[in-house]
A and B are shown apart, each in its own frame.
Chain A
Amino acid sequence: GENVEQHPSTLSVQEGDSAVIKCTYSDSASNYFPWYKQELGKGPQLIIDIRSNVGEKKDQRIAVTLNKTAKHFSLHITETQPEDSAVYFCAAMKDTGNQFYFGTGTSLTVIP
Chain B
Amino acid sequence: KAGVTQTPRYLIKTRGQQVTLSCSPISGHRSVSWYQQTPGQGLQFLFEYFSETQRNKGNFPGRFSGRQFSNSRSEMNVSTLELGDSALYLCASSLAWQGRGYTFGSGTRLTVV
B-contacting residues of A (Cβ < 8 Å)? 32, 34, 36, 41-46, 89, 91, 93, 95, 97-105
A98:B99 contact, CB within 8 angstroms: yes
A97 CB contacts on chain B under 8 angstroms: 56, 98
Residue of A nearest to B46 (CB): A99
Q: A100 and B42: CB pair below 8 A?
A: no
Number of A-B contacts (CB under 8 A): 55
Report the nearest A residue to B40, measured CB to CB: A104
Instruction: Please determine whether B42 and A45 come into contact, CB atoms closer than 8 angstroms.
Output: no
Within 8 Å of chain A (Cβ to Cβ): is B22? no
* CA–CA, A101 and B102, complex, Å: 13
Judging by beta carbons under 8 Å apart, are B90 and A43 in contact? yes
Pair A99/B102 contact, Cβ less than 8 Å: no
Question: What's the tally of chain B residues with a CB closer than 8 Å to chain A?
Answer: 26
Q: How far is the CB of A24 from chain B (nearest CB, A)?
A: 15
Q: Is the CB of A95 within 8 A of B98?
A: yes
Contact B42 A99 (CB under 8 A): no
> Are B31 and A43 touching (Cβ within 8 A)?
no
A45 in complex: contacting residue of B33, B45, B104, CB < 8 Å: B104
- 8 Å CB contact of B98 from A36, A98, A104: A98
Residues in chain B near residue A98, CB distance under 8 A: 31, 33, 48, 50, 55-56, 97-99
Q: Does B4 contact A (CB under 8 A)?
A: yes
| Shortest distance between the CB of A28 and any CB in chain B (Å) | 18
Q: How far is the CA of A95 from the CA of B97 in the complex (A)?
A: 11
Instruction: Specify the chain A residue showing the minimal Cβ separation from B50.
Output: A98
Verify B43–A42 contact, CB threshold 8 A: no
CB pair A103–B42 under 8 Å, yes or no, is yes
Residue contact A100 to B45, C-beta cutoff 8 Å: yes
| CA gap between A41 and B50 in the complex, in Å | 27
Question: Contacts A44-B104, A98-B56: A93 and B90 contacting too (C-beta < 8 A)?
Answer: no
Q: Which A residue's beta carbon lies closest to that of B96?
A: A98
Residues of A within 8 A of B8 (CB): none
